[in-house]
Amino acid sequence: MTFNALLLTKADDGTTHAAVTALDEAQLPEGEVRVNVAFSTLNYKDGLAITGKSPVVRKFPMVPGIDFAGTVAESSDARYKVGDAVVLNGWGVGESHWGGLAQQARVKADWLVPMPAGLDAGQCMAIGTAGYTSMLCVMALQAQGVKPTDGPVLVTGANGGVGSIAIALLARLGFEVHASTGRLDEAGHLRHLGATEIVERATLSAPGKPLQKERWAAAVDSVGSYTLANVCASLRYGGTVAACGLAQGMDLPASVAPFILRGVTLAGVDSVQAPYARRVEAWRRLASELPLDLLESNTETIGLGDAVTLAPRLLAGQVRGRVRVDVNRGRSQGSN
Protein backbone atom coordinates (compact mmCIF):
# COMPACT_ATOMS: atom_id res chain seq x y z
CA MET A 1 0.00 0.00 0.00
CA THR A 2 1.34 3.41 -0.94
CA PHE A 3 0.62 6.74 0.74
CA ASN A 4 1.60 10.37 0.27
CA ALA A 5 4.08 12.04 2.58
CA LEU A 6 6.10 15.23 2.69
CA LEU A 7 9.61 13.81 2.45
CA LEU A 8 12.76 15.73 3.36
CA THR A 9 16.06 14.76 1.75
CA LYS A 10 19.49 16.31 2.07
CA ALA A 11 21.49 17.26 -1.03
CA ASP A 12 25.24 16.88 -1.36
CA ASP A 13 25.68 20.61 -0.70
CA GLY A 14 23.80 20.28 2.60
CA THR A 15 20.57 21.93 1.51
CA THR A 16 17.23 20.40 2.43
CA HIS A 17 14.78 19.39 -0.30
CA ALA A 18 11.10 18.93 0.52
CA ALA A 19 8.51 17.34 -1.76
CA VAL A 20 5.29 15.36 -1.52
CA THR A 21 6.31 11.78 -2.35
CA ALA A 22 4.51 8.46 -2.72
CA LEU A 23 5.92 5.97 -0.20
CA ASP A 24 5.27 2.32 0.56
CA GLU A 25 3.90 1.18 3.90
CA ALA A 26 6.93 -1.10 4.24
CA GLN A 27 9.13 2.00 4.41
CA LEU A 28 7.52 3.19 7.65
CA PRO A 29 9.79 3.07 10.71
CA GLU A 30 9.30 0.56 13.50
CA GLY A 31 6.55 0.94 16.08
CA GLU A 32 3.69 -0.95 17.67
CA VAL A 33 0.90 1.18 16.20
CA ARG A 34 0.18 2.24 12.62
CA VAL A 35 -2.14 5.21 12.27
CA ASN A 36 -4.24 6.51 9.41
CA VAL A 37 -3.41 10.20 9.80
CA ALA A 38 -6.27 12.64 9.22
CA PHE A 39 -4.64 15.94 10.17
CA SER A 40 -1.26 17.26 11.19
CA THR A 41 -0.06 20.82 11.74
CA LEU A 42 2.67 23.23 10.72
CA ASN A 43 4.61 24.35 13.78
CA TYR A 44 7.71 26.52 14.16
CA LYS A 45 9.89 23.43 14.48
CA ASP A 46 8.33 21.99 11.32
CA GLY A 47 9.18 25.22 9.53
CA LEU A 48 12.80 24.87 10.59
CA ALA A 49 12.87 21.27 9.40
CA ILE A 50 11.27 21.94 6.01
CA THR A 51 13.44 24.95 5.20
CA GLY A 52 16.63 23.54 6.72
CA LYS A 53 17.12 26.80 8.63
CA SER A 54 18.12 24.88 11.76
CA PRO A 55 19.41 21.31 12.15
CA VAL A 56 16.34 19.96 13.91
CA VAL A 57 16.21 16.90 11.62
CA ARG A 58 18.47 14.22 13.07
CA LYS A 59 18.58 11.91 10.05
CA PHE A 60 17.48 11.81 6.42
CA PRO A 61 15.25 11.01 4.69
CA MET A 62 12.68 12.36 7.12
CA VAL A 63 8.94 12.95 7.17
CA PRO A 64 8.42 16.13 9.23
CA GLY A 65 5.41 16.91 11.39
CA ILE A 66 5.77 16.93 15.17
CA ASP A 67 2.15 15.95 15.78
CA PHE A 68 -0.86 14.26 14.23
CA ALA A 69 -4.38 13.01 14.87
CA GLY A 70 -6.04 10.01 13.28
CA THR A 71 -7.31 6.47 13.81
CA VAL A 72 -5.46 3.26 14.55
CA ALA A 73 -5.06 1.06 11.47
CA GLU A 74 -2.95 -1.67 13.07
CA SER A 75 -1.72 -2.33 16.60
CA SER A 76 0.32 -4.92 18.45
CA ASP A 77 -0.20 -3.11 21.76
CA ALA A 78 -3.21 -4.02 23.92
CA ARG A 79 -3.84 -0.38 24.84
CA TYR A 80 -4.93 0.49 21.30
CA LYS A 81 -7.19 -1.34 18.89
CA VAL A 82 -8.10 -0.76 15.26
CA GLY A 83 -10.40 2.23 14.92
CA ASP A 84 -9.31 4.01 18.11
CA ALA A 85 -8.94 7.77 17.72
CA VAL A 86 -5.50 8.96 18.87
CA VAL A 87 -3.30 12.04 19.12
CA LEU A 88 0.48 12.38 19.18
CA ASN A 89 2.67 15.32 20.19
CA GLY A 90 6.47 15.36 20.40
CA TRP A 91 8.74 12.43 21.26
CA GLY A 92 11.14 13.39 18.47
CA VAL A 93 8.55 12.63 15.80
CA GLY A 94 9.40 14.67 12.71
CA GLU A 95 13.01 14.99 13.90
CA SER A 96 14.45 11.52 14.47
CA HIS A 97 11.34 9.43 13.72
CA TRP A 98 9.01 9.90 10.74
CA GLY A 99 6.25 12.32 11.64
CA GLY A 100 2.73 13.43 10.92
CA LEU A 101 2.93 15.22 7.56
CA ALA A 102 1.90 12.01 5.83
CA GLN A 103 -1.19 9.89 5.33
CA GLN A 104 0.35 7.07 7.39
CA ALA A 105 2.51 6.92 10.51
CA ARG A 106 3.93 4.08 12.58
CA VAL A 107 4.97 4.98 16.13
CA LYS A 108 5.51 3.60 19.60
CA ALA A 109 2.33 3.06 21.57
CA ASP A 110 3.82 4.96 24.52
CA TRP A 111 3.84 8.14 22.43
CA LEU A 112 0.08 8.18 21.81
CA VAL A 113 -2.80 9.45 23.91
CA PRO A 114 -6.49 8.75 23.30
CA MET A 115 -8.29 11.55 21.50
CA PRO A 116 -10.22 13.42 24.19
CA ALA A 117 -14.00 13.23 24.27
CA GLY A 118 -15.56 16.30 22.70
CA LEU A 119 -12.89 16.85 20.04
CA ASP A 120 -12.47 15.38 16.58
CA ALA A 121 -9.22 14.99 14.62
CA GLY A 122 -9.57 18.33 12.87
CA GLN A 123 -10.17 20.19 16.13
CA CYS A 124 -7.27 18.40 17.81
CA MET A 125 -4.91 19.62 15.12
CA ALA A 126 -6.37 23.11 15.14
CA ILE A 127 -5.04 22.94 18.70
CA GLY A 128 -1.94 20.89 17.86
CA THR A 129 1.32 20.93 19.74
CA ALA A 130 1.13 24.71 20.07
CA GLY A 131 -2.22 24.61 21.85
CA TYR A 132 -1.24 21.60 23.93
CA THR A 133 1.89 23.51 24.98
CA SER A 134 -0.27 26.52 25.84
CA MET A 135 -2.31 24.39 28.22
CA LEU A 136 0.86 23.01 29.81
CA CYS A 137 1.92 26.62 30.40
CA VAL A 138 -1.43 27.48 31.99
CA MET A 139 -1.12 24.40 34.19
CA ALA A 140 2.40 25.48 35.20
CA LEU A 141 1.14 28.92 36.25
CA GLN A 142 -1.72 27.41 38.21
CA ALA A 143 0.66 24.97 39.90
CA GLN A 144 2.48 28.05 41.24
CA GLY A 145 -0.80 29.37 42.60
CA VAL A 146 -1.39 32.12 40.03
CA LYS A 147 -5.01 33.36 40.19
CA PRO A 148 -6.99 35.93 38.19
CA THR A 149 -7.14 38.20 41.23
CA ASP A 150 -3.33 38.45 41.29
CA GLY A 151 -3.22 40.78 38.29
CA PRO A 152 -2.72 40.74 34.52
CA VAL A 153 -0.93 37.96 32.68
CA LEU A 154 1.31 38.75 29.72
CA VAL A 155 1.46 36.49 26.66
CA THR A 156 4.41 37.05 24.32
CA GLY A 157 4.46 35.96 20.69
CA ALA A 158 0.74 36.58 20.84
CA ASN A 159 -0.03 36.06 17.16
CA GLY A 160 1.70 32.67 17.06
CA GLY A 161 0.18 29.29 17.74
CA VAL A 162 1.16 29.07 21.41
CA GLY A 163 0.40 32.70 22.14
CA SER A 164 -2.98 32.89 20.48
CA ILE A 165 -4.36 29.81 22.21
CA ALA A 166 -2.82 30.86 25.55
CA ILE A 167 -4.78 34.11 25.28
CA ALA A 168 -8.04 32.26 24.67
CA LEU A 169 -7.42 29.81 27.53
CA LEU A 170 -6.42 32.44 30.08
CA ALA A 171 -9.29 34.75 29.17
CA ARG A 172 -11.75 31.87 29.51
CA LEU A 173 -10.35 31.21 33.00
CA GLY A 174 -11.03 34.81 34.01
CA PHE A 175 -7.54 36.31 33.70
CA GLU A 176 -6.86 39.80 32.42
CA VAL A 177 -4.60 39.09 29.44
CA HIS A 178 -2.05 41.44 27.89
CA ALA A 179 -0.73 40.41 24.47
CA SER A 180 2.74 41.27 23.16
CA THR A 181 3.10 41.38 19.38
CA GLY A 182 5.03 43.09 16.62
CA ARG A 183 1.99 42.95 14.36
CA LEU A 184 -0.22 45.71 15.71
CA ASP A 185 -2.52 45.33 12.69
CA GLU A 186 -3.68 42.08 14.32
CA ALA A 187 -4.79 43.83 17.52
CA GLY A 188 -8.44 43.27 16.69
CA HIS A 189 -7.92 39.53 16.35
CA LEU A 190 -6.05 39.37 19.66
CA ARG A 191 -8.84 41.25 21.40
CA HIS A 192 -11.32 38.84 19.85
CA LEU A 193 -9.36 35.98 21.45
CA GLY A 194 -9.60 37.70 24.83
CA ALA A 195 -6.70 40.15 25.19
CA THR A 196 -7.55 43.44 26.89
CA GLU A 197 -4.27 45.27 26.25
CA ILE A 198 -1.78 45.13 23.37
CA VAL A 199 1.95 45.52 24.14
CA GLU A 200 4.33 46.54 21.37
CA ARG A 201 6.93 43.79 20.94
CA ALA A 202 9.78 46.29 20.56
CA THR A 203 9.37 47.41 24.18
CA LEU A 204 10.45 43.95 25.31
CA SER A 205 12.81 42.67 22.62
CA ALA A 206 15.85 44.91 23.27
CA PRO A 207 18.30 44.85 26.22
CA GLY A 208 16.68 46.25 29.37
CA LYS A 209 17.35 46.94 33.03
CA PRO A 210 17.77 44.00 35.45
CA LEU A 211 14.73 45.22 37.40
CA GLN A 212 11.90 47.19 35.82
CA LYS A 213 8.48 48.49 36.77
CA GLU A 214 6.30 45.72 38.18
CA ARG A 215 3.60 45.20 35.56
CA TRP A 216 2.40 41.59 35.36
CA ALA A 217 1.51 38.90 37.87
CA ALA A 218 2.54 36.16 35.46
CA ALA A 219 3.45 35.48 31.86
CA VAL A 220 3.52 32.84 29.14
CA ASP A 221 6.63 33.28 26.99
CA SER A 222 7.37 31.54 23.70
CA VAL A 223 10.06 33.99 22.59
CA GLY A 224 13.08 33.68 24.89
CA SER A 225 16.23 35.84 24.76
CA TYR A 226 15.87 39.54 25.67
CA THR A 227 12.09 39.27 25.68
CA LEU A 228 12.10 36.65 28.42
CA ALA A 229 14.72 38.60 30.38
CA ASN A 230 12.58 41.76 30.26
CA VAL A 231 9.46 39.83 31.19
CA CYS A 232 11.19 38.41 34.27
CA ALA A 233 12.38 41.92 35.19
CA SER A 234 8.82 43.27 34.89
CA LEU A 235 6.92 40.69 36.93
CA ARG A 236 5.29 41.65 40.20
CA TYR A 237 6.64 40.29 43.46
CA GLY A 238 6.18 36.52 43.56
CA GLY A 239 5.26 36.35 39.89
CA THR A 240 5.74 33.35 37.60
CA VAL A 241 6.64 33.06 33.94
CA ALA A 242 6.06 29.81 32.05
CA ALA A 243 8.76 29.63 29.35
CA CYS A 244 8.26 27.29 26.41
CA GLY A 245 9.90 28.76 23.30
CA LEU A 246 12.84 30.49 21.65
CA ALA A 247 11.48 32.42 18.67
CA GLN A 248 13.86 35.31 19.42
CA GLY A 249 16.71 33.10 20.60
CA MET A 250 17.69 30.41 23.06
CA ASP A 251 19.91 32.70 25.12
CA LEU A 252 18.74 34.35 28.35
CA PRO A 253 20.68 37.62 28.89
CA ALA A 254 19.24 38.26 32.33
CA SER A 255 20.40 38.80 35.91
CA VAL A 256 19.41 37.02 39.10
CA ALA A 257 17.79 40.23 40.42
CA PRO A 258 14.14 39.32 39.69
CA PHE A 259 14.58 35.92 41.31
CA ILE A 260 16.31 36.96 44.51
CA LEU A 261 14.76 40.41 45.02
CA ARG A 262 11.19 39.79 43.87
CA GLY A 263 10.88 36.04 44.34
CA VAL A 264 10.07 35.51 40.66
CA THR A 265 9.71 31.91 39.45
CA LEU A 266 10.89 30.82 36.00
CA ALA A 267 8.95 27.65 35.18
CA GLY A 268 10.23 25.71 32.18
CA VAL A 269 7.58 23.93 30.10
CA ASP A 270 8.50 20.94 27.93
CA SER A 271 5.91 19.45 25.62
CA VAL A 272 8.12 16.88 23.89
CA GLN A 273 8.59 14.35 26.69
CA ALA A 274 5.93 15.37 29.18
CA PRO A 275 4.65 12.39 31.20
CA TYR A 276 1.58 10.54 29.97
CA ALA A 277 -0.68 11.65 32.83
CA ARG A 278 0.15 15.31 32.25
CA ARG A 279 -0.54 14.94 28.52
CA VAL A 280 -3.92 13.33 29.12
CA GLU A 281 -4.86 16.03 31.64
CA ALA A 282 -3.81 18.80 29.25
CA TRP A 283 -5.91 17.37 26.43
CA ARG A 284 -8.87 16.77 28.75
CA ARG A 285 -8.78 20.40 29.82
CA LEU A 286 -8.38 21.65 26.26
CA ALA A 287 -11.52 19.76 25.27
CA SER A 288 -13.53 21.33 28.10
CA GLU A 289 -11.99 24.82 28.46
CA LEU A 290 -10.96 26.06 25.02
CA PRO A 291 -13.71 27.98 23.17
CA LEU A 292 -14.05 26.02 19.93
CA ASP A 293 -15.57 28.95 18.03
CA LEU A 294 -12.43 30.97 18.71
CA LEU A 295 -10.33 27.96 17.77
CA GLU A 296 -11.75 27.75 14.26
CA SER A 297 -11.43 31.49 13.63
CA ASN A 298 -7.78 31.21 14.67
CA THR A 299 -6.98 28.35 12.27
CA GLU A 300 -5.99 28.14 8.61
CA THR A 301 -6.33 24.77 6.87
CA ILE A 302 -3.94 23.83 4.08
CA GLY A 303 -3.14 20.79 1.98
CA LEU A 304 -0.06 18.63 2.39
CA GLY A 305 1.86 20.23 -0.46
CA ASP A 306 1.21 23.76 0.81
CA ALA A 307 3.40 23.18 3.86
CA VAL A 308 6.53 23.69 1.74
CA THR A 309 5.56 27.18 0.59
CA LEU A 310 4.07 28.26 3.92
CA ALA A 311 7.04 27.20 6.08
CA PRO A 312 9.24 30.26 5.28
CA ARG A 313 6.34 32.62 6.02
CA LEU A 314 5.75 30.88 9.35
CA LEU A 315 9.39 31.38 10.36
CA ALA A 316 9.17 35.04 9.32
CA GLY A 317 6.23 35.60 11.67
CA GLN A 318 3.83 36.22 8.79
CA VAL A 319 1.28 33.57 9.79
CA ARG A 320 -1.51 34.27 12.27
CA GLY A 321 -2.60 31.65 14.77
CA ARG A 322 -2.63 27.97 13.87
CA VAL A 323 -2.00 26.09 10.63
CA ARG A 324 -3.79 22.75 10.31
CA VAL A 325 -2.70 20.37 7.56
CA ASP A 326 -5.22 18.06 5.93
CA VAL A 327 -2.81 15.33 4.80
CA ASN A 328 -5.42 13.87 2.45
CA ARG A 329 -5.81 17.15 0.57
CA GLY A 330 -3.46 18.09 -2.21
CA ARG A 331 -4.03 21.82 -2.26
CA SER A 332 -5.11 24.63 0.03
CA GLN A 333 -8.74 25.45 0.72
CA GLY A 334 -7.92 28.70 2.54
CA SER A 335 -8.86 29.83 6.02
CA ASN A 336 -11.70 28.53 8.14
Res 335: pLDDT = 36
Res 336: pLDDT = 36
Residue 29 DSSP one-character state: P
* 88-125 per-position pLDDT tens digit: 999 999 999 999 999 999 999 999 999 999 999 999 99
Res 240: pLDDT = 98
**Quick one: which H or E segment has residue 48?**
helix 44-51
How many Å apart are CA 296 and CA 299, to the nearest integer? 5
Chain centroid to Cα 132, Å, comes to 7
Beta bridge partners of 318: none
Res 333: pLDDT = 43
Average pLDDT of the residues in 191-220: 97
Res 55: pLDDT = 85
Res 320: pLDDT = 83
- Residue 236 pLDDT greater than 70, yes or no: yes
pLDDT band at residue 329 under the 50/70/90 scheme:
confident
Share of the chain above pLDDT 90, in %: 88
| 80 burial level (CB within 10 Å; 0-12, 13-18, 19+) | buried
Res 330: pLDDT = 67
Beta bridge partners of 155: 179, 220
Res 254: pLDDT = 96
Residue among 335, 23, 283 nearest 134 (CA): 283
Mind listing the domains of the chain with CATH numbers? 2-115+298-326 (3.90.180.10), 129-268 (3.40.50.720)
* 42-67 per-position pLDDT tens digit: 998 999 999 998 889 989 999 999 99
Res 197: pLDDT = 97
What is the end-to-end Cα distance of the chain in Å, rounded? Answer: 32
Average pLDDT of the residues in 148-157: 98
Q: Which residue has the higher pLDDT, 294 or 289?
A: 289
Average pLDDT of the residues in 229-254: 96
Res 1: pLDDT = 85
pLDDT band at residue 334 under the 50/70/90 scheme:
very low
Average pLDDT, the chain: 94
